[in-house]
Amino acid sequence: MSTSAPFTLITGGAGFIGTNLADRLLTHGREVVLFDDLSRPGTRSNLEWLTRRHEHRTRVIVADILDERAVEEAVAQATEVYHFAAQVAVTTSLAAPLRDFEVNARGTLVLLEALRRLPEPPPLIFTSTNKVYGALDDLPIRATERRYVPVGEQAGINEQRALDFHSPYGCSKGAADQYVLDYARCFGLPTVVFRMSCIYGPHQHGNEDQGWIAHFLIRSACRQPLVVYGDGRQVRDVLFIDDLLDAFERAMRDARQLAGRAFNIGGGPQNTLSLLELIEQIGERSGHVPSVQHAETRCADQRYYVSDTTAFAQATGWRPQVSVEEGLARLGEWIDQHIPRGSPYISPGAARLKAVGR
């Protein structure tokens, strides 16, 4: 696809985060190009929604992030780049680690090299993951009835925490994370890394280990059982998508000053949720207590992860604005309007595992 006007490039642009970001930018009159292979469940419906909402302004390049020529052509006139194209689940990385590496690590390097060849590389924001910190087995915690809690004062995990890649997914995203930072150091690219906790909101078609809030709400709305890996006391800080988009805007605005830095991004200690607490809230909101099936704890599953977002707040003034209660209500409204109840909801994660023979 060729275009004459400068634009914002979003790789993985038809995914959950890309769709929401594209909608905001297009609504504000910005030019946007989505780069996506449309292989993930939900991407085609997200793209159809964007096309309807923004008529003929939605522009898309259907290609794989490993396609060097397509990537080079895509970045040629981009004024800023958001890199979301990725394999996003630990379970899938365990089933197909080579593909996980190719997409997450090599795909990111393909993009960085295309940017490096430009006379004036545009700023790039890359979404990494809390999995780069490993399972956090050394973190002192204790179990209460509904959640794990830290022992002693614990504001959250900050960027000084040692990296400890765990699982093929953690390794591939961690490698990409480090390449993005190093291209700022070695080649002067204006790149910033977000190590993200649990992000949730509309247009999310989640599975058991990525997008679990949306996954639980959708399964419950369809009267299907929930699968909980481990005891369900696992805690994450959760961040509504609108707050993440605000963080993107601030980071992109200051990208050249923030270049070469990684930031932990999430809802922080004031916005935390355990699996059991979410299930309890689903029952209270719907009047229907979801059926729950338990399975063994998964590889590298952190029992407690809460982001310390102090560094990004100090650098940009950003702080989350949407409470857990408001965010869940808004996601629930979207599910009520967009998820059909007539047919069983199939987990994207289960579909992927079946495809690779698990």
Q: Which of 92, 265, 85 is nearest to 169 (CA)?
A: 92
For 210-238, how does the pLDDT look when each residue is reduced to its tens digit (9 = 90+)? 799 999 999 999 999 999 999 999 999 99
The answer to whether 148 is a known catalytic residue is: no
What would the pLDDT profile of 18-62 be if each residue is shown by its tens digit?
Answer: 999 999 999 999 999 999 999 988 899 999 999 999 988 999 999
Question: What are the backbone angles phi and psi of residue 149, rounded to the nearest 5°?
Answer: -130, 145
Tell me which DSSP letter residue 344 carries: P
Mean pLDDT of the chain: 91
Query: Can you tell me the distance from the alpha carbon of 193 to that of 113, in angstroms, rounded to the nearest whole number?
Result: 17
**What would the pLDDT profile of 147-194 be if each residue is shown by its tens digit?**
999 998 677 999 999 999 999 999 999 999 999 999 999 999 999 999
Weakest mean pLDDT among 140-149, 208-217, 308-317: 208-217
pLDDT at 341: 65
Cβ-based burial of 336 (10 A; exposed 0-12, middle 13-18, buried ≥19): exposed
Q: Which of 82, 148, 169, 304 is catalytic?
A: 169
Alpha-carbon span 149 to 323, nearest angstrom = 20
Q: What is the pLDDT of residues 258-294, one digit of tens each?
A: 999 999 999 999 999 999 999 999 999 888 889 999 9
**What is the C-alpha separation between 202 and 336, in angstroms, rounded?**
11
HEC profile for 51-115? HHHCHHHCEEEECCCCCHHHHHHHHCCEEEEEECCCCCCHHHHHHCHHHHHHHHHHHHHHHHHHH
Residue scoring higher pLDDT (244 or 347): 244
Alpha helical stretches, state H, 122-269: 168-187, 212-221, 241-253, 255-258
